[in-house]
Amino acid sequence: MEAPKNKSSRLASTIRWVARILCILATVFIGMWALEAVEGKVGLGRQILGFLMAPPFLMSVLLIIILIIAWKRELVGGILIALIGLATAAYVYISTYHRLLHIASKGYRSVRTAQALNFSVMISLPLIIVGVLFIISYFLHRPKNLTAQTP
């Protein structure tokens, strides 16, 4: 009888650590785009300021804060990360679509909605998956004796 509980416990721990590691990797991946704000033609102070004010860097800082929350409170952190993923999907889709419209207005190429959608999914889906994994981990780790007790 002890083996199934142990196997379930290992699965729960694996899901918890996969969620944590994927969140760290997603944060680093998004943070790498902040390097795009650094240009070689301006001074060092402006480069640092451009890096610190870049939306990907700010999102990485936000994800680090939420990861700290998720490390202690998986349900709250998982919901926040999933919501950040959904908000990111909408933001990236809208901004990419408008950028493609601008490029198309100059006659370079036709606008394809699928391009904006693909880019949006590529950025946001890992965050949504991480959020769901944290939520699953919460439900696998929560105490089983939380059911209503009859007197």
Mean pLDDT of 15-19: 94
37-93, pLDDT tens digit by residue?
Answer: 666 677 777 777 777 777 788 888 999 999 999 999 999 999 999 999 999 888 888
**Beta carbons within 8 Å of 121's beta carbon, 6+ residues apart:** 89
**Beta carbons within 8 Å of 150's beta carbon, 6+ residues apart:** none
Q: What integer pLDDT is reported at residue 69 of this predicted model?
A: 95
User: Is 3 among the domain residues?
Assistant: no
User: Is 137 among the domain residues?
Assistant: yes
Neighbours of 144 (CB within 10 A): 5
Q: Which of these, 31, 35, 83, lies nearest to 57 by C-alpha position?
A: 31
Residue span of the structural domain in which 55 resides: 10-142
Q: Which residue has the higher pLDDT, 32 or 109?
A: 32
Give the number of domains in the chain: 1
Helix (H) or strand (E) holding 29: helix 2-32
Q: What integer pLDDT is reported at residue 119 of this predicted model?
A: 77
User: Is 1 among the domain residues?
Assistant: no
Q: Answer for the pair 67, 24: CB distance below 8 angstroms, yes or no.
A: yes
Burial class (CB in 10 A: 0-12, 13-18, 19+), 131: buried
Q: Kindly state the tokens that stand for 18.
A: 């996969």
User: Is 125 among the domain residues?
Assistant: yes
108-149, pLDDT tens digit by residue?
Answer: 665 566 777 787 788 889 999 999 999 999 998 876 655 555
User: Is 120 among the domain residues?
Assistant: yes
